[in-house]
Structure 1
Amino acid sequence: MIISILRNLVFLAFAGLGAYAIFSNGTLSRDRFHRQIIVGLLMGVTVYLISSNPFVFEGAQIPLDAKAGLLVYAGYLGGALGGLIAAACGAVARLDIGGPNVWLGTFLYGLFALFGAGVARTIPSPVWPVVPLKATFLLIIGTAVLQFTPAPFVRWNEDEGQNFTLATAGTALVVVSAFSAIAMSFVIHWAYTTAAPARQNSEIRQRLRNWTTAANNTGPIKAVLGLQENPAFPIEIDLAEARLNTATRIAGIGFYTFNADTRECVFCSERHAAHFGLTPMEFQTKHRGPALYLGHIHTDDRQIVLDAHQQASRGHPQTYEYRAFHQMGGIRYIRQIEEPVHNENGQIVEYIGTSLDITHLRQTEMRLRQTQRIEAIGAHTNGIAHDFNNLLTVILGSLEIWLEKGKGSQGEKLISSARKAALRGAELTKNLLRFAQDEPPPLLRLNLNELIGSTLSWTAGVLPATITLETSLFARLWDIETDPVSAENAILNLILNARDAMPDGGTIRIETANLKVTPGETSRQPTDIGPGHYVVLTVGDTGHGIAADKIKQIFEPFYTDKPRGNGSGLGLCMVKRCVDQSGGVILLNSEVGKGTTFRLYFNAKSTKAAPAEKEPVKATGAQVPQTNQTEEADS
């Protein structure tokens, strides 16, 4: 009996080696008909060898061997055709041996094979030759049940002197048949797992031999042109594959292919599946059928993947990034590049893609942004301190004038200016909190003339009597969208910078205008101004000007040419940030000894003219005239 068991194990090992050879062949995985025949012949030869050397209980014609497992797997992997070929080979052996119950045994051979084919149709293989766990369990149970079914119809005991019961015979048959199915499941799994690298290499080798691609003069591959061999250019395929596999392993690159017609995953590398915590078999199982599987894609990023696949189906190569759920928990950031492959008729037949796990890179970027945010909070705090210093100048200056001049309506105006400046300080604190919480400031639609008038009404008092403030505001100014607090601080910064640039006195001029730039007029505008509608704020002075070598630096954080302790270097940086928030640009003209002019271009939110103010804006302070409302044509 031991010799018979060992002999059966050797035959099963032979079947495993044959299965390895079949599974290693990439061509057979796509050629269903020849695959069924070869699987049937392999299993059939093994069944013939086992059936020719059975172990039989003395006193009963009960052959105990491992053929049942071979037959059901012949039906599952080879279909009805492969199963019947294997059954026919076993039947030849059984008829050759002869003895009782020959026809019943032959019938069982075919029944086992057809049962395996039936399971394949009920629980199909996601990717041949993978056998799902549910199908494996059903094959094992079904084999045992089928083996015991004909027991009552068999004359078990040939010798009346032997005490050989139906229960004993039936139990022996069930155990042996179940063992054979279990053993074959391990053999098939081993053969598939071991043959995976060889099968991948076979598919790559087939592609290298049969498919040639052509590139146009610019480089990208346009289409697969033919099925041909070119013996004039021999390729060291094995060496090339080894280098390719090593390179992709080192770089952490996964790759995959999808069939364009069925939308099923034809090939999945171990690295690509590992990005999601899956095995290649599990990944291919999930991507079975025409519907695109998105279960492992982050909900917020699924539309990115859908759009990329839609564009790829139109023939456009795609590079996209999304977040994916990992089976072991956590989120992975995946970057994929996917290209369609065309046949000689220009039709898309396949999609080939590569994937790269960039989670570490994205996490590093997030940590860097957090570090930069902490640093920026410190810088922003300095900016807030700079603006607070400006506001305190207004508050203290107004209070000092009030103490000097005493009572009356003038005093009320000074107290009102101090109160408004204090309220702006509270708004600055809110801005700091928003910045620390990564919350953008609210952008509101407003009229710049009104904002300038409001700002001048409580800031003009900071100007000395030697400085004259002139304004020329266009009456039908378009609206803009910006943060009012940032805009007020920007105006205040420009006024105070102009004041500091004129220690001996001078003139500050503030103007507003509408500007419409058409595509044909861009050549007449500064290079940074594109077509569109703009509201232009101009603030100029007659101060000492800025040297040419310093102009490129003045908008950089912490840069200042003022004496130490007189400036933070963040004023103009905050002005530029305000303009950037509204989608505009800021330009500067300066000449040493003659003065400086800043022009702030804000994108107009409406080209409908705002109504003219009923009363002109009045500015307080020494030598400050009334604001002029102009009715000039748009610039």
Structure 2
Amino acid sequence: MIFPFAIHVCLFSGFALVITFLPKPYRAVFFYAYLSIILVIGGFLGNLYSLPIADGIVVSGGNLAYGALMMTSVLFVLVERDIFVLRRIVFLVVAVNVFNILLMIVVADTLSSPDTLNPHNTSAALFATSIPFIILGGTLIVLALGIMLYLFELIKRATQSPILGLIAYLIVFIAILCLDGIAFPLIAFGTSKDVIAMVAGGLTGKLLTATAYSMAILTFYVISPTRFSEYLKQNVFNWGTLLRSSSDIIKSIAQKDEQLSRTNSRIAHSAELAGLGYGVSNRKTGKIVDCDVAYAKMHGLKVDDILSLDIDEGMIGKIVHPDDRQKAKVYRNTVFGMQPAISELRYVMPDGDVRTLRKIFSPIDVSDEDGDLYEVVSQDITDTTRLQEQLFKSQKMDAIGNLTGGVAHDFNNLLAVILGNLELLQDEITDADQKELLKNSITSTLRGAELTRNMLSFARKAQLEPTTVDLNGLIRNMKNWIGRTLPSNIDVKTSFLEELWETEVDASSAEAGILNLILNARDAMPDGGQLTIETMNVIVDDDYVELYDEEVDPGQYVLVAISDTGEGISTENLKHVFEPFFTTKPVGSGSGLGLSMIEGFMTQSKGMVRVYSELGVGTTFKLYFRASEVAKVDVQTPQDPVFQVNAESSPTILLVEDNVDVLTAIRTTLTKLGYRVIQATSGDAAFKIFTSEPKIDLLLTDIVMPGELQGTTLAKALRKLRPDLPVVFMSGYASEATVHGNGLRPEDIRLMKPVRREDLVRAVNKGLSMVNKKDPRKADRT
């Protein structure tokens, strides 16, 4: 009976498709009426007959009605694209099922009456026992619709392709109908073997019915693909909104209208506070067609006066300052060409006052009729312009100072190279005349260094009041209250040299500079970390050169090193940290002047500030304060025995440093003294070299380097191969920060950059001597 089956499907599908193309005022009414009819007759069809399609394939009248209901509901949602359609269908299902239940009760009671004419002997029990099935069927219909539309919504969010969406929808539609058809008999009749066998036997019919009704959805897409695509673009199903009452929705709309009104009021008030005016002009007529009071007031006129003005003759020809009229014509041509523009022009007020107005011109493209209109937003920026001019003058002076400092900085680097090479040549040349020439050249180089120091003094002219200061005491006093500015997840470590030299410095400026660096360290460690403050005495001589930084007078200095374990500073940003107004902090979190002021203060105090940083590792700022003349003492540099290296048995040093310039300088110094130097620019490369060249006497390595193996991890890896390998570590960080948590041995030697030649040689000698003490046979090599 395939033909009757096809007639049923076409009848139900045809009516549903016809309704989808009715005008909107009638479409919803007919949909609800049609759904009601299907719900009412569904139970009767289920009781009346079933259609055997083929061997083992039977479709009941109930399945035909249920499939038609689901198909019609889906089409209803696709057409209306209304989030409340499902809720209305649910109400309809509940209402019709209540009616059906009452009808079944009435019919059963009527048939049970002996006075009722019942020529076909219809059983009253047939209708009485239908009530549970009506309740179960209605419940499953509501659940199936909700689940189906929820899955539809997930599909919409996963793909915007109409074809893929349609295929997914059809699969979900067929699956839901089949699952519902399976669930109903299992819930209604139990899960006995007979019931399961009945369900399995009817599954093919349910699948056939679902597939047949899915063709109606496919037909809808073929006839009207645009409407289906529009449905994909809209969010139809939302549980929260679906469960809200109409009164809540109306209340929400009213609240949103009120909020919109308040927002508009605030925008208007904000525009008033910001001094914004609004106007509309017509490029075709050359007239101002509308404006507010603020816009007119900016020009010293009333609204009526502005609206009577011609743009060319009235506005540009009379109100715009004569010197700006040519620029005004350029802006006019841009705007008349329907292009946006921003102008800053001077306008002459009726009382002779000159005001500067910034105007933003934007074409209005609302319709062909208004295609010649453009809006103007205007703001009086006279005061801002005057402040900018003052700022530009101030910045000009700052730029001169910055330029001077930059020239001195670069010139110092050049002088450092020249001086270093001259000193190396002085050690090599024995001719007296040539030595005199070198001496004169060194003297002139030092005079050049003095010139650059004078240039830096010119760049920094703050009034300082230096006094004799014990920096240990100053920092200890700061530590008593500085903890209140630091979060509890930052651990503060200090290492103070007991016999620290006193300095001649402005105490308040020094305190402000140290505090600024501590706060910067705090900001660099938002998730916590370690802050290390260390003081020490250092000697700066002519060999005490650090690349890419300023030179200072040789002498005795007090070093304050402030280190953090924060995020670090990139190489690019590191070049600009001391520039005025440079900052990587968010707007409003920093002026960019702190480090610039510290540099100026240290420079004017005849000291220096240096920074060393690695991304993801941390940063160290080193403040070099000139020691007080009273505190200075004669420092006798201990003369450790220098190795007398011979060509046959020179110790081999593995030098690891990622900065090529530093690597070259250290390699040259060590090679000149007779050591055999093998160099590497990373820990990974050094490890490969060591495994292929085991006769290495000492490892001299930077701590922070690119690659997997850092200085400390490289030492650990090499000591697994040779436990007695002596290691000298170099770092730009304070020594306390270097030691913390990295597992260095107590006997390991640590040098903090910049490294003097004497300190470098002393450290290498000490490291090699430690090996010789363990193995006297190696002493023959010294």
Is the TM-score greater than 0.5? no
Task: With a CA cutoff of 8 Å and minimum separation of 6, indicate the structure with the bigger relative contact order.
Answer: 1
Larger Rg: 2
> Which structure: greater helix fraction?
2
